[in-house]
Amino acid sequence: MKTKLITTIMIMLFLASITVFAVPVKASPAIIHVPTDYPTIQQAVDAASPGDTIIVAAGTYDEQVVISKSLTLQGAGDTTIIQPSGTGILTSFYTLGTQAGALWNGHKLASIISVQNVGTAGVTVKKLKVDGVNVNGLPGGANYVVGISYGETTGTIYDVTVVNMNSVPVATRTYGMWLDAVSTSVLVEVKNSRISYYNKNGMTARGAMLTVDIERNVITGPGLIGPAQVPNGLYVTFGTGGTVTYNKVSNNRYTGTEWRSAGIGGYRAAYGVTYEYNNVHDNDMGISGDSGSPIRYNNIHHNTIGINIEEVSPGVPAAYNDIRYNLIHNNYYGIRILEDGLGAGNTASYNNIYGNTEGVRNWDTSQTFDAEDNWWGHPSGPYHSTNLGGKGNPVSDYVDFDTWLRKPFQAQE
């Protein structure tokens, strides 16, 4: 009996030691429901721990949502609507970081959803609608009004709708989305989303620490507006790198003559931003790139200018853009090159260029643009003074079009 008692005591002491020295197990990320657990989205965000998921039921939520921790914010689709009742709801601003040589340093964004300084831990926003219809003015102290902004934060925006960011006077710059990183290396993906009706840009991506993957979105501009504002669908700027693919961008037009609206544009972006498989139509300019960009497999049509090539910055022409496998049709200019805009290595080949008033116009008479091996709409090639029998799209001087394709090119994707 004594032996059994000693054995029992030893087992109990062993089990106690396991209990004492056991490593605590981290609780699984929580799921928080709005309005069941908290009546507002912001209350749920404030209560959440990093890694939690907030699921928002269908309904209209009169608030601004500010996120500064890693989490997932998920709605029920377009029936989950974040719609501030007025300008006064936007009380928290995000201050853009400073990057040498960049515009907008220190400017303040008044965003309906403002994701701020989460870093690489990341934030996901998906399956909801942001509606700025009641935001009819610029909040005091802010520079711009934005639907969704990500500042210095990795993340994903998926299946989101942003609408009616143009209720303010047209002189106020409003944006569907603004992605920004100048101090933390982050990746932001925007996929399967919709942006419509804004005063300035559907989407702006800014900063040398930012990489974007912008894929399968529909961006519809405000139509013909100005002269106080120049609308653009999407601009990649000031060192941002990445890919812009499978998007549909349309309806960006400017009433003035000094500037042109772009469906998709790059301005001092990182070298080699990729623009592929986009459908870009009914803009002043379809695609206006920087340098080193593959511009391939796009359907570019019914714009004033299909593809625009100009200086990247004053005195720095665009260089080494690979324009290939595109449908470039029914524009006024298929490809336009501005004076002093043509750097080394720009080529256009194996494109179907047809139905344009002018296939290629090169205003930069300092060098010839390489446009060999394209289909110009007719087996006889483009019309030019050196090819008077050409019945295809006309081309200007300083364009090397010989040789040309005798039938439309069929791209192998």
Q: What is the pLDDT along the chain (413 residues), one digit of tens a residue?
A: 444 444 444 444 444 444 444 444 446 699 999 999 999 999 999 999 999 999 999 999 999 999 999 999 999 999 999 999 999 999 999 999 999 999 999 999 999 999 999 999 999 999 999 999 999 999 999 999 999 999 999 999 999 999 999 999 999 999 999 999 999 999 999 999 999 999 999 999 999 999 999 999 999 999 999 999 999 999 999 999 999 999 999 999 999 888 999 999 999 999 999 999 999 999 999 999 899 999 999 999 999 999 999 999 889 999 999 999 999 999 999 999 999 999 999 999 999 999 999 999 999 999 999 999 999 999 999 999 999 999 999 999 999 999 999 999 996 55
On whether residue 16 sits in a domain, the answer given is no
On whether residue 408 sits in a domain, the answer given is no
CB-count exposure of residue 171 (10 Å: 0-12, 13-18, 19+): exposed
The pLDDT, as a whole number, for residue 289 is 87
- CA 210 – CA 199 distance, rounded (Å): 24
Which residues have C-beta within 8 Å of that of residue 110, sequence separation ≥ 6?
Answer: 90, 93, 138, 139, 142, 144, 145, 146
Question: What is the CATH number for 94?
Answer: 2.160.20
On whether residue 43 sits in a domain, the answer given is no
On whether residue 369 sits in a domain, the answer given is yes
On whether residue 19 sits in a domain, the answer given is no
**Mean pLDDT across the chain, nearest whole number?**
94
- CA 113 – CA 234 distance, rounded (Å): 19
The pLDDT, as a whole number, for residue 412 is 56
- CA 50 – CA 68 distance, rounded (Å): 10
Amino acid of residue 37: D
On whether residue 266 sits in a domain, the answer given is yes
On whether residue 41 sits in a domain, the answer given is no
The pLDDT, as a whole number, for residue 413 is 52
- CA 268 – CA 207 distance, rounded (Å): 10
- Sole residue written with tokens 């009616």: 164
Which residues have C-beta within 8 Å of that of residue 371, sequence separation ≥ 6?
Answer: 335, 347, 348, 349, 360, 395, 399, 400, 401
- Give the total number of structural domains in the chain: 1
pLDDT tens for residues 300-331?
999 999 999 999 988 999 999 999 999 999 99
Residue 177, number of CB atoms within 10 A of its CB: 30
- CA 58 – CA 79 distance, rounded (Å): 5
Q: What is the DSSP letter of 374?
A: -
On whether residue 119 sits in a domain, the answer given is yes
Please give the residue range of the domain that contains residue 157. 58-400
Strands (E) across 172-261 are located at: 174-180, 186-191, 194-198, 201-206, 210-215, 218-225, 232-237, 241-245, 248-254
